[in-house]
Chain A
Amino acid sequence: MMDGVNTNKAPKNTLANIGNMAKKNTMLIVLALVIIFFTVGTDGIILNPGNITSLIMQTSYVIVLAVGMLMCILTGGNIDLSVGSVLALVSVIAAKLLVEVKMNVFLVIIIALLLGGLIGAFHGFWIAYIRIPAFIVTLAGMMLWRGLQLVISDAKAIAVTSDKNPLFTSIFNSFIPNIKVTLFGITFDIVCMIISILAAAAIVFLMTRSRATRKSKGFEVASKGIHIFKCVLISAVILFFTFLLSEDRGFPFMLIILAVILVGYSYFTSKTVPGRYLYAVGSNEKAAKMSGVDTNKILFGAYTNMGVLSAVAALICVARFASAQPTAGEGYEMDAIASCFIGGASAYGGTGTVIGALVGALFMGVLNNGMSMMGIDTNAQRVVKGLVLLAAVLFDILSQKRRKALA
């Protein structure tokens, strides 16, 4: 459950093995199909370099929120409805500090993250130690923080322009400096390609090393053919998309922040003891408690963390929109929740991965972007997204029923 790569069982047949892999990564395949569908539907415009860049920028804060939401959902299907409002409040305060107080950018970032954490801890306290249902606490938070934000901002937007706040904008909304070269008549950014080649090489190296150590310790590992297939596929996808970026404005700095968050939380959930406890609490809280796990602390931690990540998303939004809007973040909680469930998190907790949440968020992003490109009416878009969410959760429940029937 924790990571599809480290599977201990390896069917002998390579084809069967690929089939097995496909079964484990259904959503990834559906995502690929959706991308192909929109590529055909938009005559390839969705894969235009410029569009890929804006797709990443549009989806980035949903991804950040989805990662935090996943931690909450893992603890037992608990959701956090307040993230949009927390995001708005942190945006306004950060913008005020930047523009009106003219505070140092890094100090503003620290204060924003602390504020987010504090709000998250406030929710976490009621949920974990007083045991008020998360739905109620965060519903209250949703109204409370939105209201407070409107009071503070007087419901007016605060502009954070790039010419007056160059450092802030460059952290969250800029590109790594380009060195454009032209080869075979195609102009692209060599810096971007170097980063992506290094990233792909690192991933291949880590995968190969892990396979080798596991093999030397006598565990069963995937066959060599499968391993090479996986490495080539992952590298190809990375190189293809970064090449598209390199044709446009280059490597967005945002992508590095996202990569750090995704790798960090992936590691946390799959390789650390508190990460393990998140799953245990969500799967069977009683059993976790009887194993000596401080289940309250785990729940508290999940919500505190959600607050911090809401603040990260807030900073991203301020930079991207060059302002703190009173309506910022409205409906983001729903996008984040939907991303987790589409990405295979269980509505009952205990199942789900960071990569799944990423895939879910990308799925929603591609759906939004593709449908807009095809000129589908925004109201109709909502209908489609609603049906997609329902289908994803239905899939989860049906597969759970099948598992129960097997037992």
Chain B
Amino acid sequence: MPKVLLEMKNIIKEFSGVRALDNVSLSVREGEIHALCGENGAGKSTLMNVLSGVIPHGDYEGEILFDGNPCSFKNIRDSEKQGIVIIHQELAMIPFFSIAENMFLGNERGTKFNIDWDKTNKDAAEKLKVVGLHESPYTLVKDIGVGKQQLCEIAKALSKEVRLLILDEPTASLNENDSKNLLDLLLKLKEEGVTSIIISHKINELAYVADTVTVIRDGQTIETIDKDSPDFNEDRIIKDMVGRELTNRYPVHEARTPGEPVLELENWTVFHPLFAGRKVVDNASITVRKGEVVGIAGLIGAGRTELAMSAFGKSYGVQISGTLKIGGKVENLHNVSEAIDAGLAYVTEDRKGNGLVLSESIAINTTMAKMSKVSNHGVIDKDKELEVAEDYRKLLRTKANSVSDPVISLSGGNQQKVLLSKWMFADPDILILDEPTRGIDVGAKYEIYLSINELIKAGKSVLVISSDMSELLGVTDRIYVMNEGRIVGELSQKEATQEKIMAMIIKSDSEMAG
């Protein structure tokens, strides 16, 4: 039995009252590849942030032992000194620096006032050889693909005398070939004595590389399964990941009889705006009928947001092809303003980034997408604006002193309600809700679900994108399952289960992997 390299004991971490980690323990043996699984928001990344010092010692409860010594990391530098290196999902490389410059950024060769560029490039070339990347160390990072960038990150980690390598969803944005290369590299590094933790949803990949799997759900450790154990199988891991009990978190699901199709996407294909040739949405077709709530399930990076945004007046992507029909009529929407006029609304997943103007008042945010309803020849009727904002505040039970308060002073749940008000005020026929309840408390979630029901009663249609599968099961009539940019399944409310959705995703992964 190899010795234990890392021991995390009873880690508790709260974010403003919400327990993200609730007594999580993790034990990693030296020289193994340890997989960490769980749904989005289960607490995997938080746990790794605790380990790597992103969340400093003192901000969490519990104990970390590395190589038998207690750790109290104040920041990433501290953990890196011990040889713990984390590679985040969002790669942190500087595009206009060369591979070598990136690799030794913050860890420069030579002295502080005299960087030894020859040594930098020589060392970089060595590390590139180790990771099997055939690129010159002088190549600019912007000129290589994501897969190669991922390898550069690993090479960078190796240059820091890594003992424990943590990879957060390393293959999320890679194609099969690059993924395979990366996983093989992990196996090779394992032989050289590097211990790694890999966070992933992709069970087929885990089966390929992992020695041990730990499943986390709702901030708790569910189970640690060894590769040799008979429990090491897909079904068991999926059940561990999603097996939360459903209590009364959703309004009663009323039987509805949907009408004519109001939104149809046929053979919708979208390419990435920056990486030429990368398909983000691949030949997807969906239909939403009048008076129907349709869900799109999938993992982060499945292309759901990109599908919605590209349909919403081409606000995402390039070389968009396919047919968009609204109310049976083919529409060619060039911009957001045309999409709004056609009766579409897209409630963005990123309420702070592109949803709300935080410094402005509730009233101003409420009317923003349809100023024509509170203005006359371009002149705003401010009193009317306050009145309608107040109406929506009451309707959605937004908690605020006054509609003149800036949105920034509200809690996340109430900000989400303002965002929803804004699009309800725009009076669309079809509302696309992208992660409508992310990061908000249970009470506010319930009220948002109630609003969805109200909208349906008023004859609207709703398309919900959510990574919370139980939410989709709780509020939708029909669910599309999306993976890697493609629609890989469709389930009615009756037949849908979390296991079935997960199984569809995993099945399509293995199909694509060949």
Q: A271 near B: Cβ within 8 Å?
A: yes
Residues of A within 8 A of B403 (CB): 8
Q: A217 near B: Cβ within 8 Å?
A: yes
Question: Are B383 and A287 in touch, CB under 8 angstroms?
Answer: no
With both chains docked as a complex, state the minimum distance between the C-beta of A94 and any C-beta of chain B, in angstroms.
31
| CB closest residue in chain A, given B403 | A8
Question: Are A9 and B402 in touch, CB under 8 angstroms?
Answer: yes
Of A276, A351, A407, the contact of B371 (CB 8 Å cutoff): A276
Of B335, B358, B378, B402, the contact of A407 (CB 8 Å cutoff): B358
| CB closest residue in chain B, given A285 | B354
Question: Are B359 and A292 in touch, CB under 8 angstroms?
Answer: no
- Besides A293-B337, A406-B408, 9 new A-B residue pairs in contact (Cβ under 8 A), listed by A number: A8-B402, A219-B383, A273-B375, A283-B358, A286-B354, A287-B357, A288-B357, A289-B354, A291-B422
Of A6, A271, A279, the contact of B360 (CB 8 Å cutoff): A279
Q: A350 CA to B407 CA in the complex, in Å?
A: 14
Question: Are A217 and B364 in touch, CB under 8 angstroms?
Answer: no
With both chains docked as a complex, state the minimum distance between the C-beta of B336 and any C-beta of chain A, in angstroms.
4
Q: B404 near A: Cβ within 8 Å?
A: yes
Q: A219 CA to B336 CA in the complex, in Å?
A: 34
Q: B181 near A: Cβ within 8 Å?
A: no
Question: Are A407 and B379 in touch, CB under 8 angstroms?
Answer: no
Q: Known contacts A9-B401, A350-B359; is A291 also within 8 Å of B408 by CB?
A: no
Question: Are A283 and B359 in touch, CB under 8 angstroms?
Answer: yes
Q: Which of A250-288 contact B (CB under 8 A)?
A: 271-274, 276, 279-280, 283-284, 286-288
Q: A290 near B: Cβ within 8 Å?
A: yes
Question: Are A292 and B336 in touch, CB under 8 angstroms?
Answer: yes
Residues of B within 8 A of A291 (CB): 336, 368-369, 422
Q: Which of B295-341 contact A (CB under 8 A)?
A: 313, 315, 335-337, 339-340
Q: Which of B360-414 contact A (CB under 8 A)?
A: 360-361, 364, 368-369, 371-372, 375, 378-380, 382-383, 386-387, 401-404, 408-409
Q: B355 near A: Cβ within 8 Å?
A: yes
Of B356, B379, B408, the contact of A271 (CB 8 Å cutoff): B379
| CB closest residue in chain A, given B312 | A290
With both chains docked as a complex, state the minimum distance between the C-beta of A288 and any C-beta of chain B, in angstroms.
7
Question: Are A292 and B360 in touch, CB under 8 angstroms?
Answer: no
Question: Are B359 and A1 in touch, CB under 8 angstroms?
Answer: yes
* A-B CB proximity, top 4 nearest: A286-B354, A292-B337, A8-B404, A291-B369
Q: A20 near B: Cβ within 8 Å?
A: no
With both chains docked as a complex, state the minimum distance between the C-beta of A291 and any C-beta of chain B, in angstroms.
4
Question: Are B368 and A294 in touch, CB under 8 angstroms?
Answer: no
Q: A286 CA to B372 CA in the complex, in Å?
A: 20
Interface residues on chain A, number (Cβ under 8 Å): 33
Q: Known contacts A291-B368, A292-B337, A406-B409; is A214 also within 8 Å of B383 by CB?
A: yes
Question: Are A407 and B408 in touch, CB under 8 angstroms?
Answer: yes
Q: B353 near A: Cβ within 8 Å?
A: yes
Q: Known contacts A8-B386, A276-B371, A276-B380; is A283 also within 8 Å of B336 by CB?
A: no
Of A9, A217, A287, the contact of B355 (CB 8 Å cutoff): A287
Residues of B within 8 A of A293 (CB): 336-337, 368
Chain B: interface size category = 35 or more
Most B CB atoms within 10 A — which of A9, A274, A284? Answer: A284
Q: Which of A393-407 contact B (CB under 8 A)?
A: 403, 406-407
Q: Known contacts A8-B386, A217-B383; is A287 also within 8 Å of B371 by CB?
A: no
Of A271, A279, A284, A290, the contact of B358 (CB 8 Å cutoff): A284
Q: Known contacts A280-B360, A290-B315, A290-B346; is A273 also within 8 Å of B409 by CB?
A: no
Question: Are B340 and A292 in touch, CB under 8 angstroms?
Answer: yes
Question: Are B360 and A283 in touch, CB under 8 angstroms?
Answer: yes
Q: B348 near A: Cβ within 8 Å?
A: yes
Q: A378 near B: Cβ within 8 Å?
A: no
Question: Are B337 and A287 in touch, CB under 8 angstroms?
Answer: no
Q: A213 near B: Cβ within 8 Å?
A: yes
Q: A280 CA to B353 CA in the complex, in Å?
A: 13
Question: Are A6 and B382 in touch, CB under 8 angstroms?
Answer: yes
Q: A293 CA to B403 CA in the complex, in Å?
A: 22
Of A8, A213, A274, A280, the contact of B357 (CB 8 Å cutoff): A280
Q: Known contacts A288-B357, A290-B354; is A274 also within 8 Å of B336 by CB?
A: no
Question: Are B359 and A272 in touch, CB under 8 angstroms?
Answer: no
With both chains docked as a complex, state the minimum distance between the C-beta of B311 and any C-beta of chain A, in angstroms.
13
With both chains docked as a complex, state the minimum distance between the C-beta of B35 and any C-beta of chain A, in angstroms.
36
Q: A102 CA to B178 CA in the complex, in Å?
A: 75
